[in-house]
Amino acid sequence: MKKRLGVLISGRGSNLQALIDAVADGRLDATLAVVISNREDAPGLDRALAAGIATVVVSHKGWPSRQDFDRELVRHLQTYRVDLVCLAGFMRLVGQPMIDAFPHAIVNIHPSLLPAFPGVDAQGQAVAYGVKVAGVTVHLVTPELDGGPIVAQRTVPVLDTDTAESLSARILVEEHRLYPEAVALLLAGGWQLDGRRFISASR
């Protein structure tokens, strides 16, 4: 049985597209079971529809508490029998109900070399700080923002001429390569955690 992925988005969905393309051409042996967006106008929803993937919109607004929003996400993900949750530009903190429902089975992609520059506008933070090397991180999700065990990283040089936009564009190219690879690594199994360290099976 193929593992079933649920992808959570908030916007453009280019990393979702990278997963769709990787499944289509066999780099990723999985089923894209559902795409959930917290914004009904997220362009990524059109990518899911075009690929024939079920979509659900769960607005983050209007819930009595954050946990209630989380529980609604869990409900949909369980309805679609999701094994691994992939955050792809999902700009909400993931709370305890999600972590409890999917232990070590929520993964995120972040456009910096964590633990540097967590949070929003990581690429702008990197340019403003003046680092010479930036990059991308895929990590397991814990309640701490962008703080979970690191599954994979790639570096991207920062050029003297870079703006946040130009750096973002080059990092994005690496994101689209790395995310399907890292998801495939997770799905292959045999990996373990040693404290915060992700030890892959192929070591």
Closest to ligand GAR by CB, 33 or 86: 86
Rounded least distance, CB 11 to ligand GAR, Å: 5
CB atoms within 10 A of CB 75: 13
What amino acid positions are annotated as catalytic residues?
Answer: 110
Q: Enumerate residues 89-128 that contact ligand GAR by CB under 6 A.
A: 89, 109-111, 122
* Given 3, 6, 11, 53, the residue binding ligand GAR (CB under 6 A): 11
Using the contact rule CB under 6 A, the part of the chain among 11-19, 58-66, 155-163, 187-195 near ligand GAR is 11-19
Q: H-helix or E-strand containing 114?
A: none
* Given 14, 31, 166, 200, the residue binding ligand GAR (CB under 6 A): 14
DSSP 13: -
CA 87 – CA 202 distance, rounded (Å): 24
Backbone angles phi, psi at 108, to 5 degrees: -130, 150
Rounded least distance, CB 13 to ligand GAR, Å: 5
Backbone angles phi, psi at 72, to 5 degrees: -70, -40
Which residue's structure tokens are 């936009």? 165
Rounded least distance, CB 81 to ligand GAR, Å: 24
Cβ density class 132-141: b for 16+ within 10 Å, e for less: eebbbbbbbb
Rounded least distance, CB 52 to ligand GAR, Å: 19
Q: Which residues bind ligand GAR (CB under 6 A)?
A: 9, 11-15, 44, 88-89, 109-111, 122, 146, 172, 175
